Homo-oligomer: A and B are copies of this chain.
Amino acid sequence: MSDQTTCRRDARPRRLILAGAHRQPGYCLTCGIRAQSVCSVIDDDDIARLAETAVETLVLPGRSFIEEGAAATDFYNITSGSVKLFKALPDGRRQITGFATTGHFLGLAVSDQYAFGAEAIDTVRLCRFSRPRMRQLMDDFPRLERRLLAEASNELVAAQNQMLLLGRKTARERVASFLLERMREAQDPAEDVPLPMTRSDMADYLGLTIETVSRTLSWMRTERLVAIGKGHTVRIIAMERLQTLAAGDAA
């Protein structure tokens, strides 16, 4: 099998130990993305507890900050940028299980090992919480646990959709589904879809090769379904036809 996907920018992505520091009690009060993250369940009165627990960290593009199989010591909350989550086989085949962006919470694991790796796509800023501290927070704020359950349930639904895609959809249907998902995920609700990830990442997410992704996008361009813009964006032209394709209604 091809190992194109293993030829990464860094042959062995090293873990970034960028220390960062615990924040001042008022830190989380001014956090711009608090409203859209799990942190929103903690009131202003108690937010100092959270701020003391959080460690802000910067991760450079291409750097990995969770290693599959490593001891699961921390939880992460992404405050800016986007990351890819993945699993790998011994021979280098990779499956990206999801992309996470601003506001996403990472690191849920019952086991004491991470079940997946995580790598920054662009420059990523995140808040790190140690497991014991997080556990303490969950004990003290049941709403936090409820929110995490909701978060996990949503991810489970997304995972089931992805299984349907990987198991039963054609290449064209996969790419169409992907573009629509990226559109929904984008903060700005325009029809210009940002695709910060490489073709290789798209392929590893969709269970395809980079060539097939590229060919399929070219086909969509000639079919006037999309226009491929400069700088990692795609403009959706024929929304309805793309939706029909993604839903698997037409061959």
Q: Which residue numbers of A lie inside 8 Å of B, CB to CB? A: 1, 87, 89-91, 93-95, 97, 108-111, 115-116, 138, 142, 145-146, 148-150, 152-157, 159-164, 166-169, 204, 206-207, 247-249, 251
Contact = CB atoms under 8 A, between A and B. Distances in A.
- Copies of this chain, complex-wide, total 2
Which of A94, A160, A161, A163: most chain B CB closer than 10 A? Answer: A163
A169 B94 CA distance: 10
Which of A111, A115, A149: most chain B CB closer than 10 A? Answer: A149
27 contacts: A1-B251, A89-B168, A89-B169, A89-B247, A90-B247, A93-B248, A95-B163, A95-B164, A95-B168, A97-B160, A108-B149, A108-B153, A108-B156, A110-B150, A110-B153, A110-B154, A115-B160, A116-B160, A138-B146, A149-B149, A152-B156, A156-B159, A163-B166, A166-B166, A167-B206, A167-B207, A168-B207
A82 to B, nearest CB: 18
Contact of A166 (B138, B161, B167, B251): B167
B159 A110 contact: no
Given A97-B160, A160-B116, A207-B168, A153 B109 contact: yes
Contact of A163 (B108, B111, B150, B159): B159
A54 to B, nearest CB: 21
**A interface, by DSSP: helix, strand, loop or mixed?**
helix
Given A89-B169, A94-B168, A163-B166, 20 more contacts: A87-B160, A87-B163, A89-B247, A90-B248, A91-B248, A93-B168, A93-B248, A95-B163, A95-B167, A97-B159, A97-B163, A109-B153, A110-B150, A110-B153, A110-B157, A115-B156, A115-B161, A145-B145, A159-B163, A166-B207
Sorted from nearest, which 5 A-B pairs have the closest CB atoms?
Answer: A167-B207, A159-B159, A166-B166, A89-B248, A152-B152
Contacts of A207: 166-168
